[in-house]
Amino acid sequence: MAADGIPVAVTCRVLKIAGQPYYRWLARPVTDAELAEAYLANAVFDAHRDDPEFGYRFLADEAAAAGYRAAERTVWRICRDNRWWSAFGKKRGGNGKRSGASAHDDLVQRDFTAKGPNQLWLTDLTEHRTA
């Protein structure tokens, strides 16, 4: 909006934000932390390209060996954001639900007609998983 000729003070007042962060960003668009993280990401990428089977913990060790020390969680976040996964992923489990054996035998052979009252009793099996 400033490039369109709208004064910064007016823009900040309309957006209900302070003007100081804008001027701080204008003076220095890339912070030291962002620059350090970009260098770390480059080191992690180089290590990942060399050995794609490494997970984020090994990539953190490789980056530290290259001179870029960071917490494993930071390396994990960089890998996640850039979708750098290990070539060997963990096996994922199912949802923990398995269909078991049928509760009872089919005594009516799928014929649900009754000859009189109290001759045929049925139940709802929708809570049981079936193939």
Q: What is the pLDDT of residues 97-129, one digit of tens each?
A: 766 666 667 777 778 888 888 888 877 766 777
59 and 44 Cβ atoms separated by less than 8 Å: yes
| 93 — pLDDT class (breaks 50, 70, 90) | low
| 1 — pLDDT class (breaks 50, 70, 90) | confident
Instruction: Mention every residue, 6+ apart, whose C-beta is less than 8 A from residue 68.
Output: 39, 40, 43, 44
Instruction: Mention every residue, 6+ apart, whose C-beta is less than 8 A from residue 37.
Output: 74, 78
For position 71, what pLDDT does the model report?
93
For position 102, what pLDDT does the model report?
66
For position 86, what pLDDT does the model report?
85
For position 115, what pLDDT does the model report?
85
